[in-house]
Structure 1
């Protein structure tokens, strides 16, 4: 039998807010959003200003009517119920009685104190693990998820798009698990030196004056590629990456695996489903370098087949730089707090809406440009522009 929810007086709520907690209420239900304020797409200050107030009207909008996933997400931070004044008086009397009992016990000799009360067990789980009701969820969160999700079948698509705020474990093996996690700065430290070195190689190779476009067809009509073209070729590579980013996100990461195919469901969860299930798991917001090197090597080989060696390398290094910018930006859109009105502020709100409400649109991450010609733009009227 579940324990009754804890109740709080209005004075207790005010005291918590005065101490820095961000406690809000939805009618009588109280929620502690202290761990979420930095992640809120509308900005931390917006939530801070609402501390101690009823947010029911804000959830219903305008300017933004919160989705079912957003309301489900809110329940993870449930704290208890707001008491009526009569209840507060009764609670105060009970607390006085309990305090009196404690004083009596404290005055007893050491040998008379009860010794059969066991200390509460210390949980070794991540504190965020409380955010999922294990008994009601479709998977066992105490075990690695990768080998469970394939059995969800037709329930997988709905389940994976109901985000939770808790870490995910994929593998039984600690070694494999470590390879599946990456701190954001690792991507920058690994690939930035590669970008700088290959940029220098490309520029110095073009400076020799031996690179010509269409030279494989005829030397008479081939076009020399000078070193001064390198910045433009580099930017072309970044532009092509932005298209590739969109296509991979839409058609690979957001493929809908057949409900009857255990292996495709498992693959989808490994590639991207895990991120939609736990969008704020900080260790899984960027691509691990080991599998990334395989994908990057594949595209390098394709460019070398299609273009002259140095020209292909120049396009490739621009694309690689675009990838690094994309991964850094993706992390920032989840954990950063951009200033209202900036480009990144709009992108953060746009990307969060993709996670919580519009999973079949809004596939652009570092830019919304490709969502327009492909007609997957999230409707403009559902924005976080207004604050009150």
Structure 2
């Protein structure tokens, strides 16, 4: 059950029971809440019921469960007790307040949510407050200079926020992840058929496949760094940026607005195909573009996995760490999704963290 914290006093709910706000818990009481259906953690002497947060934890539920039996994870969250950098962002500590159920008895420590406050939005943005209970798209533009700060204070929940009052407009903003391979893989195959009909030798696929992947990885990096992270302050600039990419940073666990809608992807695919036609011969162009399109499919599916899948090995674990670092800690770095190659080339890979970078893992 998700906890409700009454900031004006009262009670909170945790583990299916109601507790008086500010209650002191013994070590034994906290230890009784250490399973997947009833998960409590202690952070700097403060007790939090994170049961409802397990499925939405960006690093995966298994990361929390792995440390569930530790007496206090405050130092771990600050990155002070591990070979790997587990340092959580200020925004991550700010999320804790929603799960607070009390304090650990016998230990005096200032409230951890006060010790690690989420950054306040710039004063300029406080002239307008976004109402999360109303359609968001036509609100965010009013934030002006404070939009960039607001949009990078993530709300980690699985529920999708409302974008538009119109049900039709709302439906156009949502895409299930499996729609991407369902629509585009047949197009990839069709393009290879076109290339063969134009006389392209099949044995040359061994050349056009990695070439197409390489081109896509560069396009992916350029779009993410220079378009998706363009700084905006005007009403329409903020509004368009929120629709394009800002919504993903504000609601990183929204599974319906994580992959590109097909119509939106087509807007980028058409000019890209035109560029490849200028760079390659009439015979080679369809094959190169087709494998570049396959690279895009792999990108979107990988991106979805990073946010909603569980790491099965070191490779996938490092991939998740690298991207979550971008979301929660260093948004000016780590622009590659499927590969850090171009971050290495253009110097946007965090030198200190590299593949050991981690925010919530």
Q: Indicate how the Cα distance of structure 1 residues 303 and 46 shifts in structure 2: closer, same or farther if over 3 A, else same.
A: closer
Structure 1 distance, partners of 2:283, 2:206, is 14
Matches within 5 A, 1:244-255: 244-255=219-230
Matches within 5 A, 1:59-208: 59-62=77-80, 63=82, 64=85, 65-76=87-98, 78-82=99-103, 84=105, 138-166=129-157, 167-207=160-200
Matches within 5 A, 1:8-87: 9-10=25-26, 11-18=28-35, 20-38=37-55, 40=57, 44-51=61-68, 53-62=71-80, 63=82, 64=85, 65-76=87-98, 78-82=99-103, 84=105
SS of equivalent to 2:47: strand
Matches within 5 A, 1:221-232: 226-232=201-207
1:238 maps to which residue?
Answer: 213
Unpaired runs of 5+ residues, structure 1, are: 86-134, 208-225
Structure 2 distance, partners of 1:8, 1:287, is 47
Q: Is the 8 A contact 1:233 1:315 kept in 2?
A: yes
Structure 1 distance, partners of 2:196, 2:52, is 47
Q: Is the 8 A contact 1:41 1:349 kept in 2?
A: no
SS of equivalent to 1:22: strand
Report how many residues are paired: 316
Which TM-score applies when normalising by structure 2?
0.80
Give the root-mean-square deviation of aligned CA atoms: 2.7
Q: CA shift at 1:384, angstroms? A: 5.6
SS of equivalent to 1:286: coil
Q: Is the 8 A contact 1:146 1:170 kept in 2?
A: yes
Deviates more, 1:156-165 or 1:290-299: 290-299
Matches within 5 A, 1:319-338: 319-338=292-311
Q: CA shift at 1:311, angstroms? A: 1.5
Give 1:4's match in structure 2, choosing from 4, 10, 15.
Answer: 10
Q: Indicate how the Cα distance of structure 1 residues 249 and 80 shifts in structure 2: closer, same or farther if over 3 A, else same.
A: same
Unpaired runs of 5+ residues, structure 2, are: 1-6, 12-20, 107-125
